[in-house]
Structure 1
Amino acid sequence: MASDLPTTYLDYPDAFKFYFQQTADDLAWANANATPVNEGPWGDVPGAQIFYIGINMAGERIKLPQISSLWRCKPSGIQLADPDDRDAPHQTYYVTGRPGSIDVVRIKLGPSMPGLLIERPEGSQPVQSTGLIDGMDFYFRECDGVWSLSIGGADVLDRPDWYYEEKHDKPNELSEEDVYSLIAKGAELLRNGTPTMAVEP
């Protein structure tokens, strides 16, 4: 995947300066232009006010019109206390953002396409991306020459309303543009009434 930093920033001090300045600019933009979303509480973890914004490939800041459930702020894991530590709490939650404060969740978006809001793909073997197709959550995955797209449902990862997969003939790792093209292809198949496939366990 291509670096998020401009190619002109070749030395690390300038790169870090650029990154922190960009983050500060995003925070200022979010505070000035977006309405915070109240998230939580989650059990004993207090609720938090979160600003969600998207950053597209051109570096433009976009206030997200709808928040995908896959992107929402929520406890990301639970660490059980050491059973030998009598003073430790029973469990500790780790929450994205700072509970009780206003924070920004920056979602890196791909190109704008009608009805699609796509998060920049990440990873390698598998390559993954999430987003919205016509307001429904989707999950894209590619590994070992097979790509799949899950859309909608209460659990888009394990029990989607619609699922499709097929092999591709790209000899090397998919580029970001390849991923966007396959997601758009899947969206078109869904819109054209292609029947869902069975999700392989």
Structure 2
Amino acid sequence: MMASDLPTAYLDYADAFKFGIQRTADDLAWATANVSPVSEGPWGDVPSVQIFYIGINTAGERIRLPQISGLWRYKPSGVQLANSDDHDPDAPNQTYYLHGPGPGVVRIELGPSMPGILIERPKGSQPVQSTGLIDGKDFYFGESDGFWSLSVGGTDAVERPDWYYEEEHDAPDELSEMDVYSLIAKGAELLRNGTPTMAVEP
């Protein structure tokens, strides 16, 4: 998570760290007042935790998220402790889970608002990726090497979507944020118009 969008010249590391801590505290205060927590878990021996989900739009305003995408749900990281000195060397390796104390705040950066569509701001390069919701169903958008694809719905929207579409694009360079938003809108229109699903390439 970036501590600030300001150029680093304006903030030294200590100031940036304090700024990040304060912003998290402000977000927690706002979430507690405005957003209902979601119970996540339990997972195995890990107890359930209370998570507040907040969308931050491109103007920096906090937005309540009435629906939570399965792709954004909080899950603890599995950490494998392989050092045999840590436990009985004859015992099989155990997976230990780490999670922060609740209540937690999950900040999700959002693109522009469109009817029935919630878009997370794109990340990465080769592939450029974005996730979100189209009419309440998870979607995954990816673009690489001149092709873009949109996967929607299903128990795993990335690997086994209910609906998939892929197309070549003619953008000469890497897609801009606005390019990504317009392609997601185009894909949503194709889906809503009943365009048949395409086969997902393995």
Fold shared by both chains (TM-score > 0.5): yes
Residue 92, structure 1, aligned to residue 96, structure 2: yes
Structure 1 unaligned segments of length 5 or more: list them: none
Q: Deviations over 1:137-164 (max 9, x none)?
A: 0000011111000000011111100000
The aligned counterpart of 2:31 is 30
Which amino acid is the alignment partner of residue 149 of structure 1? L
Q: How much is the aligned-residue C-alpha RMSD, in angstroms?
A: 2.1
When normalised by structure 2's length, the TM-score is 0.88
Q: 1:171 offset after TM fit, Å?
A: 1.4
Structure 2 counterpart of 1:143: 144
**For structure 1, which segment, 38-47 or 69-78, has the greater mean C-alpha deviation from structure 2 after superposition?**
69-78
In 2: Cα distance, 1:184 partner to 1:33 partner = 29
Report matched runs for 1:120-199 at 5 Å.
120-199=121-200
Do the aligned partners of residues 106 and 184 (structure 1) sit closer, same or farther apart at CA in structure 2, a change above 3 Å counting? Answer: same
- Aligned equivalents of 1:146, 1:4: Cα separation in 2: 32
Percent sequence identity over aligned pairs:
72
- Return the letter of the residue paired with 2:74: C
Q: Matches of 2:20 and 2:176 in 1, distance apart? A: 24
Task: Supply the distance in 2 between the matched residues of 1:107 and 1:60 (Cα, whole angstroms).
Answer: 11
Cα deviation for residue 93 of structure 1 reads 1.4
Q: Describe the SS at the equivalent of 2:72.
A: coil
Taking a change above 3 Å as real, the CA distance of residues 50 and 172 of structure 1, as seen in their structure-2 partners, is same
User: Closer, same or farther in 2 for the Cα pair 1:170/1:77, shift >3 Å?
Assistant: farther
More helix as a share of residues: 2
Check whether the contact 1:137–1:152 (CA below 8 A) recurs between aligned residues. Answer: yes
Say if 2:128 and 2:142, in contact at 8 Å, map to a contact too.
Answer: yes
TM-score between both structures, scaled by the size of structure 1: 0.88
